[in-house]
Structure 1
Amino acid sequence: MKYLKYIPLFFLIFSLQSCSDFLEQEPGTKTSIDELLQNKQGVITALTGLYSEVEANVRSDRYAVYADLQGGNIKFTPSVSGSRLVVPFRNVAKVYNFDDLAQTSDYLSFYDDSYDIINQANLILEYTPLLKDATEAEKKQLMAEAQTIRAYAHFLVALVYSQDYSYTPDASHLGIVYNTKSIKAGIQYPARETVANTYNLIINDLKEAIPNYSTLVLGGPEYSYFNVNSAKALLARVYLNKNDWTNAYETANDVITNSGVQLVTKENYLAEWEKPNLPISEILLEFSVPKDSEGAVGTSMANNFGYTSASIYGSYVASDDIINLYENTDIRKQLFLTQSLSTSVNGLTIPVNYNFTKKFQNNAGYVAFRLSEMYLIRAEAALETNRAAIAMADINTIRARANATLLTSTANLKENILLERRKELCFEGHLFFDLKRNHKNVSRNEGCISTVCGISYPSLKFVLPIPTYNTNANPNLKQNDSY
């Protein structure tokens, strides 16, 4: 039975989270928080389950496609049967139109699940120091991972529900609720931090966690859990979004120089992305796909982007807005699988070509961090700290690997960096957030079926509404403007 049944209903309402799975036991058993987390194996079980919830939350199309869909890299496929019409998929329909509603938000589950993850991480952080059957190194490792997950979940919520860091000159606008105690700690009605405080709390969590990483305690592939390198990669991304260019440069450079991970070569780039079961070799963190007791995969990123046949395919494909950005010689242009699907157009059903990304076919996991992003972060941070030559060299490293034309001048280098981020990191959850933090407009062209295909920065619609359920439960939780 689920552990939240041991918590009074009032606490459950306050928690603003859905029921947790990470302490679920076999049928017929009852295990309380105190019982499960009193030993090392219980904490390991809890942390393993927590990773499963993180994977499910980011793999869901509510987050996995959000930044690329809003930014213009993605369009929709036709319905698999029946009308064959192309319409916004129901999970994101209102958000796609920049018209999500607080009372019936498309993203209620994302918000609730994010804070559920945070609460679980807090429970692990509270119980692990008390373990008597774990070494100090093991306890530090378990806590480092839980604290990094807490920072990561808060960061994702901040990206979606808060305006960018420089929306106000001192980042004094509304950030998010930052929870550092579990719901067992007592009744609280926390208010939203400022964005400045939100980022400081995320950074503090990561800076506390990173020195405590040592030896992986959990089983399974190491690339599927946070480690010192992927925690630093997260920190570099946080610094980037904070416009803390000095720290963004130093942290990304640290990962590039000291992680031991190498960029995939030009010769292997396509083959690496096309591997059916393993991540691309330059991965820093990929949340692995869930498997049953017999090793069969249930859901993966292919549920969003995959193509199996003309009657089995995902809901999202590449728009020509992204396809047309690649030179013909760019090998990344080969990372698209063109398939014809019957589509209703002006009352007639005709074959129409759609471009599925090869990044997320078969048993693809969620790509959280990989080394290419670190080069792009270092490039942007170098430019912003008056090191244009270094910035151009990093961009040319990525472009040379792609067989794209190399830059020969630092003119318009900022735009070239953002363009390279869009081409290299497409479908990995960056574009809309890149537009926001650079105060750029959204312009969605080919395939756009939204009531709003373009939106100018700044806009109150660049953030989503906090679901009404949550603002009703917490009187101190202020709603975003315009909702």
Structure 2
Amino acid sequence: MKNYKYKVLIMAFVVAISSCTTDDLEPTLAQSKSVEQSVTKVDNLYSILKGIHSLMSGSGYYGQDVIITNEVRSDNTFSTGNSGRFTTESQFLYNNNSDLIWNNAYEVIANTNIIITADLENLEGDTDYGRHIQGQALTIRALAHFDLLREYGQQHTGSGNLGVPVITEYKGEDLFPSRNTIDEVKAAVYNDLETAFSMMDSQYDNTNVIVSKYVAKALEARVAVYFGDWPRAVTASEEVINSGLFSIIPADSYVSSWAADGGPNVMFELAATQTDNAGINGLAYMYQINEDGSGYGDVVATPEVLDIYEDSDVRLNIMDTEGEFIRNVGKYPDNVNFTSNIPLFRYEEVILNYAEALFETGGDALIQLNKIPANRGASLYSEATKENILLERRRELIFEGFRFDDMLRTGMNMEAIGTNGVVVEVIDYPSYVFAWPIPLSEMNANSNMVQNDGY
């Protein structure tokens, strides 16, 4: 654990160097001072924040692994092994030699802690803006802890109550922290999000490629749905909806919206430019193969995916069904310059979270549920059932990494799928393979770390 608490001492500024010069950092990196001493301005906090967003967009986090891994372990997709990638994940054969997102997520957390613990009163600049930046960092810290919990926590293994270490200090005294319980991690996530929302001011939100105030509530709703905290999910969703800042993308703009940046439905997306992207290790290359043969195209849809859509549903148009496999070509479409942004929070997810939470609490879920198909060229539902809500989530959020968690939180069995698309094993819920192994490097470095069962 010492590794991820100290290795960002220089990285925090290196990843943000494009947004600030050495003159902006007092003292500069060349003087080998600690990060805390180098932060003298509120603008320095913003530079670190931008660097955090860049870290999140890397292939070892949202730029590929966390999304693809959770798609190929669901009934949405599998890996053909065209380039040898994601076959072990698709077949639930992974082991502790891989760290998945462990190091990357904790690197993000370490950087957020630099911002969160900064003493604003001693910094040059707008203190209110500094509080807003700290709220943004708290939101990202909550997201990273939640990501770690859903990948490594034991909530779906049937074997224990261990979550992941909650880290709230940069360079804290505890170099070898133990795993917190699932409930402790959840409480820490909720606490960060409540604090973040109270600290942020919407007047500073002028872009959707940086975390904004209402993303904190969208994330709170996501976490609450995951854990079945339904009243909380209702309240958090309503905060977003009542803000009036977002809307569902209409049917005639649905496909084209994925090739454009932003949009009225995009609450937060990670930016990709020609100079800053995951390239051939990104989402587009993993989903697609171009006419010239470029692209790995390992991850393809299962044949049953076509059966969940009506012919009139515009969401079918993001898929190429002409070849041997069904491919995602519409979401993250730029397979040449790799400039497709990665939406992490769309308003449509909030509406679906709200519909499910209303269903679970006796509210009018049908009106909310039907807002999605009404904007997709699909038939409306005659009733709101758990099955219909999960079906609409699958239709709307396919290829974005949500389905695996939806299946787990509702206790579904999983199918391990071979490279030929044939089911090789049905894995009953719960199972130890539904939690990723703690990386071997972490087990060797931290004597207090406990491995998940089965590894």
TM-score, structure 1 as length reference: 0.83
Matches within 5 A, 1:311-326: 311-313=293-295, 314-326=297-309
Matches within 5 A, 1:429-444: 429-443=401-415
* Contact preservation (8 Å) 2:71, 2:401: yes
Corresponding residue of 1:58: 61
Cα drift, residue 280 of structure 1:
4.3
Distance 1:141 1:204 in 2: 16
Corresponding residue of 1:67: 70
Matches within 5 A, 1:110-121: 110-121=101-112
Corresponding residue of 2:449: 477
Which ranges of structure 1 fall in alignment gaps of 5 or more residues?
A: 1-10, 77-85, 341-351
Which ranges of structure 2 fall in alignment gaps of 5 or more residues?
A: 23-28
Q: 1:215 to 1:356 in 2, by over 3 A?
A: closer
Corresponding residue of 1:251: 236
Q: 1:374 to 1:55 in 2, by over 3 A?
A: same
Cα drift, residue 405 of structure 1:
2.1
Give structure 1 regions of 4+ aligned residues with deviation exceeding 4 angstroms. 16-20, 25-28, 88-91, 165-168, 215-218, 295-300, 444-453
Distance 2:95 2:277 in 1: 37
Of 353-362 and 145-154, the range deviating more from structure 2? 353-362
Corresponding residue of 1:79: none
The C-alpha deviation readout for 1:393-433, integer Å capped at 9, x for no partner, is 222221222222222234xx101111110111001111011
* Contact preservation (8 Å) 2:4, 2:110: no
SS in 2 for 1:163: coil
The C-alpha deviation readout for 1:180-205, integer Å capped at 9, x for no partner, is 0112x334321111111110110000
Corresponding residue of 2:161: 173
- Establish whether residue 139 from structure 1 lines up as the match of residue 133 from structure 2: no
Cα drift, residue 167 of structure 1:
5.7
* Contact preservation (8 Å) 1:166, 1:437: no
The C-alpha deviation readout for 1:201-238, integer Å capped at 9, x for no partner, is 100000011011115769xx610111111111011101
Distance 1:18 1:249 in 2: 37
Look up the equivalent residue of 1:304 and give its one-letter code. M
Corresponding residue of 1:365: 341
Look up the equivalent residue of 1:59 and give its one-letter code. Y
- Establish whether residue 330 from structure 1 lines up as the match of residue 331 from structure 2: no
Corresponding residue of 1:82: none
Corresponding residue of 2:25: none
SS in 2 for 1:64: helix
Distance 2:426 2:332 in 1: 27
SS in 1 for 2:308: coil
Matches within 5 A, 1:13-412: 13=3, 15=5, 21-24=11-14, 29-32=30-33, 33-56=35-58, 57-76=60-79, 86-87=80-81, 90-102=84-96, 104-105=97-98, 108=99, 110-164=101-155, 173-183=161-171, 185-214=172-201, 222-273=207-258, 275=259, 277-292=260-275, 298=279, 301-313=283-295, 314-338=297-321, 340=323, 352-362=324-334, 363-387=339-363, 390-410=364-384
Q: 1:365 to 1:30 in 2, by over 3 A?
A: farther
The C-alpha deviation readout for 1:294-338, integer Å capped at 9, x for no partner, is x89956532332443241124323222222211112221122134
Corresponding residue of 1:416: 388
TM-score, structure 2 as length reference: 0.87
SS in 1 for 2:101: helix
Distance 2:433 2:225 in 1: 22
Distance 2:411 2:61 in 1: 25
Instruction: Tell me how large the CA RMSD over aligned residues is.
Output: 2.8
Work out the percentage of aligned pairs sharing the same amino acid.
24
The C-alpha deviation readout for 1:410-458, integer Å capped at 9, x for no partner, is 4xx1011111101110011110111111111113669655884421111
Q: 1:68 to 1:111 in 2, by over 3 A?
A: same
Distance 1:409 1:240 in 2: 20
The C-alpha deviation readout for 1:19-75, integer Å capped at 9, x for no partner, is 863322689934531443122232222111111001214334321212211002123
Distance 2:223 2:67 in 1: 18
* Contact preservation (8 Å) 1:338, 1:356: no
SS in 2 for 1:428: coil
Cα drift, residue 164 of structure 1:
3.4
Q: 1:262 to 1:446 in 2, by over 3 A?
A: farther
Distance 1:369 1:453 in 2: 33
Distance 1:332 1:142 in 2: 36
Of 202-211 and 33-42, the range deviating more from structure 2? 33-42
Cα drift, residue 339 of structure 1:
5.1
Of 426-435 and 259-268, the range deviating more from structure 2? 259-268
Corresponding residue of 1:459: 431
Q: 1:145 to 1:193 in 2, by over 3 A?
A: same
SS in 1 for 2:430: coil
* Contact preservation (8 Å) 1:301, 1:360: yes
Q: Count residues with an aligned counterpart.
A: 436
